[in-house]
Amino acid sequence: MRISSTNNLFKPLIPTDPAMKRKIYLSMQSREDAQQLFLNRFQGLLTDTEEIDSSEADGRVTAEPVRARFSSPSFHSAAMDGLAVLASDTFRAADDNPVCLDIASGQARPINTGHPLPADKNAVIMIENVLLATDETSGIIRAPVYPWQHVRKVGEDIVATELLFPSHHLITPPDMAALLTAGCPTVRVRKKPTIIIMPTGSELVDLSPTGDTPPAGKTIESNSAVLAGLAKKAGGLPTVMPITSDDYENIKQQLHKVAQTEADVIVVNAGSSAGSADYTVQVIEELGEVLVHGVTIMPGKPTILGIINDKPVVGIPGYPVSAIISFEQFVLPLLNKLQGRPAGESPTLPALLARDLPSRGGIEEFRRMITGRILDHFVTVPLKKGAGAITTLTRANSMLRIAAGSEGETRDSQVQVELLRPRSEIEKTILCTGSHDLCLDLLHDFLKKSDPAYPLASTHVGSLGGIMAVKNNMTHIAGSHLLDPETGSYNTSYLKRYLGDRQITLITLVHRQQGFIIQKGNPKNIKTINDLVNKDITFINRQSGSGTRVLLDYELDKNDIDPDDIHGYDSEEYTHMAVAVAILSGKADTGVGIMAAARALDLDFIPITEERYDLVIPSEFLELPMIKQAMSIINSQEFKDEIERLGGYSTRETGHVVTTD
């Protein structure tokens, strides 16, 4: 019997030529409404049951009540090493009236912890409270014991026939010990829900075993691995299908075939948007029923919730962040429901927002964040947004939900963030805000390998942005390389200007080569800064407030070059690697960056100058264990050797404290 379609909120739109139609979001739903609508259609639906070994039951969900077959202990046993006695034989004992117990005759019997209590005894005297005779045939006590003192009685822990676990209980490793102790060699549990993941997209290819670069215009299919991992973590059994090309009939045929299997859930990845080549919603509609197309969340807006052959079908967007948000919000709750598994809730904590975070009204926004403790409060910093920004998933340790009715959050406001990492890890996270340098990634790796381990979470807002973060108590460390054009010095004048009221320690991390990153072979024949005004040269700049931008503007002024004459001067990136990638991809011909970034991507490099890159640290933080560990690493020869291997760096003053007077 097919599931009733009385709750269908999607107005059918059957294209005469599916390949030429664009889909319109006709029934946008809030996340809460979409979840409720979807899950309610499968009310009471559970996976079948199976009996498994109790020793293999970790993470499974009980399908029925579990009752103990044995009592535990199943016999009276000693809870201490000592003498087993009748309590009444000790009642006269006192400091002024010691009692001698005859061990040789059996009045008192030596016993070890866990051993059965003799049938004629009902208490145990701790051996520490007995003065044994030299031949251990008797013992003197000076205090009585009461009946059943230091004895584990039958059924003290578990009584035969008592309820061990109710239905829908998530079994943990300690629960397995209870099952075995209670004489339950097997337990009946809900079967793991099977989920089929269908990646679609003509541009998708699998990563080759040799790791070859994919052809131009092709994208490595990685979403399925992530979604399968999330499904496994939720107790599911995922199967990933081969990539299906963006062809209406191909997708329809494959989805129809999958819907005839025993799968409990079907996920179609990509093709859920409103483009003319996005066919998922049309196929689901033709084969079954569409409940929702479009949810007011970002990322994840194009989510499709439907039914084919009585099976839940979820169409999720192709961009990685969108795919994961959609999967977490709609597929994971369904997997929990099918197993009768309690829905897990992420812990939260209050934190101060480091930057203004505007948001689009009417859309619930999920932002990946980096959170750490500064003094007596937590600070949370937003990572860059974007449905395809995979690094926000790997770097984030927390997440902020901005309600649909809000237009965003302002800097310094207190927000509740959901923890994506253990709180203990977030407590130890070093926040580093400011100028980007590859050595920070190296420092992070060394810190994670140290004992104890400390994560370093860096966000790139430029040198001046880092100094202001220090001023506002929003970071532990700021990376800076701000040149003072009047004196030729680095950083010190800016610290006096912006942090004159703070005790600051300035520590040199490296000296590094700054210059022009250019394409391999220098096809545009760039030689000096004067070549930037050539009309056939496209430049990529760093953001305003960055030390690299200050250096560039200083060199332009020194050479009497008007920035308006440079094609691309207003195009900005936030890191040296982003500049290098723009040049490698052909988006730009050149940009200013560090030699290490050019070497990392096998690009050419024309030196401009050597500069000093420092770490700005409030002096009060120097005694924090995590900052002490970072300083120890920075001063180690092993760390310096690794820096030198990157190329374009000198460690001659690494770890030195710079005088700021």
| pLDDT (tens digit per residue) in 231-287 | 999 999 999 999 998 889 999 999 999 999 999 999 999 865 555 457 889 999 999
pLDDT value of residue 23: 52
Do the domain assignments include residue 445? no
Do the domain assignments include residue 446? no
d(C-alpha 544, C-alpha 307), whole Å: 51
Together in a domain, 247 and 393: no
78 pLDDT above the threshold of 90: yes
pLDDT value of residue 186: 97
More confident call, 445 vs 4: 445
Do the domain assignments include residue 322? yes
First to last CA, the chain: 82
The enclosing domain of 121 has a CATH number of 2.170.190.11
H-state helical runs in 451-491: 463-471
551 pLDDT above the threshold of 60: yes
d(C-alpha 125, C-alpha 110), whole Å: 10
Together in a domain, 173 and 34: no
CA 553 to chain centroid? 39
Do the domain assignments include residue 209? yes
Together in a domain, 497 and 642: yes
17 pLDDT above the threshold of 70: no
Beta-sheet pairing, 99-102 with 138-141: antiparallel
**pLDDT band at 24; cut points 50, 70, 90:** low
Return the minimum-mean-pLDDT range out of 275-289, 383-397, 542-556.
Answer: 383-397
Together in a domain, 328 and 419: no
pLDDT value of residue 276: 45
Do the domain assignments include residue 384? yes
What is each CA distance from 591 to 165, 553, 596, in whole angstroms?
64, 13, 14
Together in a domain, 496 and 620: yes
Do the domain assignments include residue 498? yes
Domains contained in the chain, number: 5
pLDDT value of residue 162: 92
| Mean of pLDDT values over 425-442 | 93
**pLDDT band at 11; cut points 50, 70, 90:** very low
Together in a domain, 500 and 576: yes
598 pLDDT above the threshold of 90: yes
Helix 332-339 × helix 223-233 angle, to 10°: 30
Together in a domain, 418 and 485: no
| Mean of pLDDT values over 330-343 | 92
Return the minimum-mean-pLDDT range out of 191-205, 336-350, 388-402.
Answer: 388-402
pLDDT value of residue 198: 95
Selection from 281, 126, 145 nearest residue 200 by Cα? 281
The enclosing domain of 182 has a CATH number of 3.90.105
Q: Could you read off the pLDDT of 454-495 as tens digits, one per residue?
A: 999 988 888 999 999 999 999 999 999 999 988 889 999 999
The enclosing domain of 400 has a CATH number of 2.40.340.10
44 pLDDT above the threshold of 90: no
Domain's final residue, options 279, 305, 339: 339
Together in a domain, 232 and 306: yes
Phi first, then psi: give them for residue 362, nearest 5 degrees: 90, -5
Selection from 517, 520, 525 nearest residue 591 by Cα? 517
Together in a domain, 581 and 492: yes
pTM: 0.80
d(C-alpha 528, C-alpha 516), whole Å: 9
Together in a domain, 505 and 617: yes
Domain's final residue, options 339, 372, 392: 339
Mean pLDDT of the chain: 90
Return the minimum-mean-pLDDT range out of 212-221, 438-447, 550-559.
Answer: 212-221
Together in a domain, 35 and 182: no
What is each CA distance from 205 to 196, 224, 416, 423, 430, in whole angstroms?
19, 12, 39, 38, 38
pLDDT value of residue 459: 87
391 pLDDT above the threshold of 80: no
Do the domain assignments include residue 513? yes
Domain's final residue, options 339, 356, 377: 339
**pLDDT band at 412; cut points 50, 70, 90:** very high
Do the domain assignments include residue 460? no
pLDDT value of residue 336: 94
DSSP state of 469: H
**pLDDT band at 626; cut points 50, 70, 90:** very high
Residue-number span of the structural domain to which 87 is assigned: 77-152
Together in a domain, 616 and 522: yes
pLDDT value of residue 13: 36
The enclosing domain of 634 has a CATH number of 3.40.190.10
